[in-house]
A and B are shown apart, each in its own frame.
Chain A
Amino acid sequence: MTDIEPDDTVDARGAACPGPLMDLIGRIRDAESGDVIRLLSDNDQSLTDVPEWAEEAGNELLAVEKLDDHDAFYVEKA
């Protein structure tokens, strides 16, 4: 468990790829610099998609939490 407090959560569970990443990008777009967005995804592709994009966009992936049936990604907007 992480103790990071997200400012906002995107629940993309059940969405097919590339839904979760697109949903995350949309939310980061509307966020303020420094905001932490938590993405919930049960799509394995997110495990590669999200870190790749976060790096490309210069946003920091603070943590990835492996939960029972999904993952939680914490991304801080640069």
Chain B
Amino acid sequence: MTEHVVIVGGGTGGSVLANDLADRLEPELDAGEVRVTLINDDPDHVYKPVWLYVPFGQREPADGRRALDELVDDAVDLRIDRVTEIDTEAQRLRFDGGAPPVSYDHLVLATGSTLEPDRIPGLAEGGHDYYSESGATDLRDELLAFTEGDLVLSVVGTPHMCPAAPLEFVFMADDWLRERGLREDVDITYTYPIQRVHGNPHIAEWARPIMEKRDIHVETFFNAESVDPEAETVTSMEETELDYDLLVTIPPHTGVELIEEAGLGDDGWVDVDKHTLEAEAAENVYALGDTADTGVPNAGSVAHYQAGVVGRRLASEIRGRPATATYDGKTLCFIETGMDAASFVEFDYENPPSPAPPSEKLHWSKLAYNEAYWLTARGLL
């Protein structure tokens, strides 16, 4: 009998896992004992970290796209289709357009995050973002023409992808406007939902003095409730109103609906054991990356490490051995602090982050990491 491993989602986590399995299970794949199918709803693989640079005219969205079939090992069956239903009892998936269902022996969900700007009235009309390809290019057009006024960056939804990216955006905007001699005519305000500037207290403590030094205003306990695109104001649940000329937001995020419909977790995030990454509510189901509700940041580095853990566990299970690999919460993140300096953090479930002093070298390391990503996704790094 051929065991069928199905991965839903060909983003960072799903692609790294598919290539990891192609390598790890090469003998079994060659012998026809195992099949690996990767399903993605887009023929391209999209690398989202590129979007941070698009508004500043430093990268093109195309730099973050590659055809999945060039990225994924030939031993993996690639299917471009949207999964619309997961039946964890029958171990079967259904597709858009009524294509025949597919059965699995092992399922891995790597469906990432979805943006839901419509949850906040006025946000889609009044706000801009760099959390989507079209958002990033629209914002570029606005930002390149922006020479004076109030620039507000508001973190609306949490959890959201890459918790460092909102800080990075205001640090980069500050530096970029200074370099162009416009900073005196622009006020930058950063808003955050809780009493700190970042969810992690260590990163918040590090970032706050930098913001003060750089004259970036901070509004904490600010949870945007509505945006008035006519009046150009954003109002919070705490009843603070801010005027803006350019509003950049991190929109609310959810996972994908079919996860909730399958009873695997709320808001499209899969409830998992945070060490084994096994779904709590079903057998033979793993989740990794953004959709796995482990409490660690939604970051590509996390998806990458988790893919290695799930790859090792699946190989053990397929070989009839106990699965022992576990995820320890490892997260790695470069944080841009300007247009040519960055910091770096590394942490896990036990050890808190301690941001490195910003340097040009770390900035180049981040850019190099982004370039090398295409090797990482192929499983070569």
* Chain A residues in the interface with B (C-beta under 8 A): 14-19, 21-22, 25-26, 28-29, 49, 52-53, 56-58
Bound CA–CA A53/B158 (angstroms)? 16
Bound CA–CA A21/B199 (angstroms)? 10
Contacts of A15 in B (CB 8 A): 295
Name the CB-closest residue of A to B224: A29
Pairwise interchain contact B194-A28, C-beta atoms closer than 8 A: no
* Chain B residues in the interface with A (C-beta under 8 A): 119, 158-159, 193-196, 199, 201, 221, 223, 225, 237-239, 295
Contacts of B199 in A (CB 8 A): 17-18, 22
Name the CB-closest residue of B to A57: B238
Starting from the known contacts A25-B194, A29-B223, A53-B221, 18 additional A-B residue pairs (CB-CB under 8 Å) come to: A14-B295, A15-B295, A17-B201, A21-B194, A22-B158, A22-B193, A22-B194, A26-B158, A29-B119, A29-B225, A29-B237, A52-B195, A53-B194, A56-B221, A57-B237, A57-B238, A57-B239, A58-B239
Q: Enumerate the 5 nearest inter-chain pairs by beta-carbon distance, A residue then B residue, closest first.
A: A56-B221, A57-B238, A22-B158, A18-B199, A18-B194
Pairwise interchain contact A25-B237, C-beta atoms closer than 8 A: yes
Known contacts: A19-B295, A22-B158, A57-B221. The answer to whether A28 contacts B195 by CB under 8 A is no
B235 shortest CB reach to chain A, Å: 12
Name the CB-closest residue of A to B193: A25
Bound CA–CA A52/B196 (angstroms)? 12
Contacts of A14 in B (CB 8 A): 295
Of B158, B159, B239, the most chain A CB neighbours within 10 A belong to B158
Pairwise interchain contact A53-B201, C-beta atoms closer than 8 A: no
> 29 A-B contacts, Cβ less than 8 Å apart?
A14-B295, A15-B295, A16-B295, A17-B199, A17-B201, A18-B194, A18-B196, A18-B199, A19-B295, A21-B194, A22-B158, A22-B159, A22-B199, A25-B193, A25-B237, A26-B158, A28-B237, A29-B119, A29-B223, A29-B237, A49-B195, A52-B195, A52-B221, A53-B221, A56-B221, A56-B238, A57-B238, A58-B238, A58-B239
Contacts of B195 in A (CB 8 A): 49, 52-53
Contacts of A26 in B (CB 8 A): 158
Contacts of A22 in B (CB 8 A): 158-159, 193-194, 199
A26 shortest CB reach to chain B, Å: 8
Name the CB-closest residue of A to B225: A29
Pairwise interchain contact B238-A49, C-beta atoms closer than 8 A: no
B86 shortest CB reach to chain A, Å: 23
Bound CA–CA A53/B237 (angstroms)? 10
B119 shortest CB reach to chain A, Å: 8
Bound CA–CA A38/B327 (angstroms)? 31
Pairwise interchain contact A49-B194, C-beta atoms closer than 8 A: yes
Contacts of A28 in B (CB 8 A): 237
Bound CA–CA A15/B159 (angstroms)? 12
B270 shortest CB reach to chain A, Å: 15
Contacts of A58 in B (CB 8 A): 238-239
Name the CB-closest residue of A to B192: A18
Bound CA–CA A21/B201 (angstroms)? 14
B257 shortest CB reach to chain A, Å: 16
Bound CA–CA A26/B120 (angstroms)? 12
